[in-house]
Chain A
Amino acid sequence: KKQHKKNKKDDRGPPEKEKEKEKASVPAPSKPATQSPAHKGTAFAILHSLVFVSFLYFLLVVKRLPEHIQVDDPAALKKLAKKLERQQVPLRSDYGYKVSLFSHLHQYSRKNPPTQQISIPATVIHPSIVRLGLQYSQGIIAGSNARSVALLHAFKQVIRDYSTPPNEELSRDLVNKLSPYISFLSQCRPLSASMGNAIKYIKKEISNIPSQCKEEEAKRRLQECIDSYINEKIILASEAISKYAIEKISDGDVILVYGCSSLVNHILCEAFEKQRKFRVIVVDSRPRLEGKEALRRLVKKGIRCTYVLISALSYILPEVSKVFLGAHALLANGYVMSRVGTSQIALVAKAFNVPVLVCCETYKFCERVQTDSFVSNELDDPDDLIVTRNGKTHLENWQTVKSLGLLNLVYDVTPPDFVDLVITDLGMIPCTSVPVVLRVKNVDQ
């Protein structure tokens, strides 16, 4: 059996097919070895059909390893390059010295946008997608909800401008049209978990369009689906979460927030409108300094705010009564994936016995599992760390120094023992109940 598996491995290069072949060779154990030459033809036919069936089966169950965490594998890179060439999407090259612990991730520079290699006007990629990709890569649109909503609006535009070519079905052709767009967007910036879920939903809706449906009707239906998705999963969800969260805010509270989470800002603004008396401490961190945006929104509303950097956390925490954090995704093993620094805040809050509440919509729940912040993460432009203090810029020529590296992580994972409560649109659940919610959602769909 093992010999047979090895032979199959040598034939196939790419790793995912490897896995499928390994499993596929199990149901057909000794047939090829004992077949007589006369029956070889039928044997092969049976084998191939079995392989095909198991291939389909495992497509559903065994998830392919996403490309953006296989940068250190030259075979995977070649495969990606070929795929992008086929789709006529430009390949973005990595920038700068990568810290060895993260050599499996991409690191791009903001100064080399992926649109440099595209001809204007773009022939393959829809212009609204090009614009969206540029907005992602330059950081103009940032934040999980903002990115998802922008993506869905861009897809609405794409659907509006779409016309079915002759002899093609809308349900199949449109999905194929969307694939190069998605590759382009993930070249601009790796897709977030919320965007992944949104794309899955759209693809499912498109493939469920019945074939006798007229094109106009189909397009209208798809646009309605997208609108209702945004409305249900994002807007109404944030209303529901605010309602739950406001129960947890009492008068005289000192609430700590980190960075700029649209959901947490919404909750605080709602609570302020409902006449709760509290003050907010906004914690910020270099190099993104997103807390400034949160501070601006809260101060505009009239909420009393204090502003500190994350290194002053132990100084300010004795005053704090609650910590509200936003999330980028909630993983199936209960870990919270969020902006880098969130786990630090949860850790220090736990040390000072301050309750930590995470607010997250259910559409951000994701079936991945992860235990540390290394395996799957995003590396931002390392030049962001360069700063001038007292007229001196120490890291100016960091590229010329051989042994110096800059690390600009975007996400980190918080273990569930630091989080006391997760507030979702389905209610207030502990961190470990995420797989239950996922199962319920899957059953619903």
Chain B
Amino acid sequence: MPGADKETDLSERIESFLSELKRCGSGAGSLRGSAETARETTALLRRITAQARWSNAGDLMEIIRKEGRRMTAAQPSVTTVGNMVRRVLKIIREEYARSRGSTEEADQQESLHKLLTSGGSSEDNFRQHFAHLKANVIEAINELLTELEGTTDNISMQALEHIHSNEVIMTIGRSRTVEAFLKDAARKRKFHVMVAECAPFCQGHEMATSLSKEDIETTVIPDAAIFAVMSRVNKVIIGTQTVLANGGLRAVNGTHTLALAAKHHSTPLIVCAPMFKLSPQVSDTPKLSTKNFENTTTNRFGNLILSKVNAHCPVFDYVPPELITLFISNIGGNAPSYIYRLMSELYHPEDHEL
């Protein structure tokens, strides 16, 4: 039966996506950029919308929420998956509201009066059936996909507004967004880039070779020299894994030190992050994820010593919003204090917990 085939096909795709996610966390699978992950998640959600059986918006949201929970459980550190799920949920709510004819502005939840008086009235709102809802939702998801494809280009287009000639720019580790940003600026301006290598995985090396191929003057420095050379740096431009709702960052480890050094020398810290990295999480305990690095750096120790020593290798750092000067995203530049507002436009507060 065609319906059952579609369903099995769908669940197969979901399973393969989940296993991809699980593998990419352990480093064994292909390390894909977060843009790719976001696109694949959105494509998968579009397929679910098209092929799963649902009769009203509430059902669809339940299905998507369930799948979203599974996906985020597979790899909690990859937050773009959860962000895309929340975006799609918000799209569904919007399309539903539009089909019902009610204006979206009336449903804004910031009003304190609304918070006190509305209560549970939104619960049964999604049970009505609309014929064109499916088509509308799929079209909106397609728009989201086009937006995702253009994020890196949109960010790189702003490069010339922020980089002048003969500057010394510092960056850390490897970020595809920052790479595209700097390469775009290098087409018209001459500047010098210092890349902190970000031990122990040393992704900065890859970044440096890629930048120097575009004839950008690049220097690789060890992490220990970040503060030593910071006095000659004009700007610090970094990428991040996640932007938190308070304007802070969860970025690769070593970024907090870099941010503190930049603050000490009053060097502006610019974060290039597309909108799909914005996540509704707020507080971030620093002990979020650690990776086992026994085999990369401690292989010159004898076993006698290894057994008595604790070694730590955190993957991410939390950077508080006070240390950040500017966020550059595909919708333009923003101060960290404005991030909460952007977030409320992207996600519905009820979706913050999937």
Contacts and interface: CB of A to CB of B under 8 A. Distances in A.
B202 A389 contact: yes
A307 B309 contact: yes
Contacts of B312: 306-308, 312, 315-316
Contact of A403 (B205, B218, B305): B218
B298 A395 contact: no
Nearest to B254: A311
A311 B253 contact: yes
Nearest to A394: B205
B202 A295 contact: no
B293 to A, nearest CB: 8
A309 B205 contact: no
B208 interface: yes
Interface string A314-348: 11101000000000000000000001110110011
A407 interface: yes
B188 interface: no
Contacts of B300: 292
A406 B209 CA distance: 11
Contact of A409 (B206, B228, B301): B228
A142 interface: no
Contacts of B206: 394
A305 B261 CA distance: 27
Contact of A296 (B217, B221, B305): B305
Interface stretch (A49-57, A110-118, A184-192, A281-289): A281-289
A381 to B, nearest CB: 13
B226 interface: yes
A286 B222 contact: yes
A285 B223 contact: yes
B200 A309 contact: yes
Nearest to B214: A403
B289 to A, nearest CB: 10
A308 B311 contact: yes
A315 B257 contact: no
Contacts of A412: 225, 227-228
A204 B290 CA distance: 56
Contacts of B341: none
Contacts of A398: 209
B335 interface: no
A314 B286 contact: yes
B303 to A, nearest CB: 12
Interface in B160-211: 192, 194, 197-202, 205-206, 208-209
A75 interface: no
A403 B225 contact: no
A389 B201 contact: yes
Contact of A341 (B205, B217, B225, B301): B225
B224 interface: yes
Given A292-B300, A374-B232, A306 B311 contact: yes
Contacts of B205: 387, 394-395
B220 A315 contact: no
A302 to B, nearest CB: 9
Given A306-B310, A309-B200, A344-B257, A287 B222 contact: yes
A404 interface: yes
Contacts of B194: 407
Given A403-B217, A406-B219, A347 B314 contact: no
A410 to B, nearest CB: 10
Contacts of B218: 403-405
Given A305-B309, A311-B198, A315-B287, A347 B253 contact: no
A292 B216 contact: no
Interface of A: 99-101, 285-287, 289, 292, 295-296, 299, 304-316, 318, 339-341, 343-344, 347-348, 351, 372-374, 385, 387, 389, 394-395, 398, 401-409, 412-413
8 contacts: A286-B200, A310-B223, A311-B199, A312-B253, A315-B286, A315-B317, A395-B209, A403-B212
Given A285-B222, A348-B260, A398-B209, 19 more contacts: A100-B192, A306-B310, A307-B311, A310-B224, A310-B257, A311-B198, A311-B199, A314-B318, A315-B253, A315-B312, A341-B223, A351-B260, A389-B201, A403-B215, A407-B194, A407-B219, A407-B221, A412-B228, A413-B228
Q: Which 3 A-B pairs have the closest CB atoms?
A: A341-B224, A311-B254, A314-B256
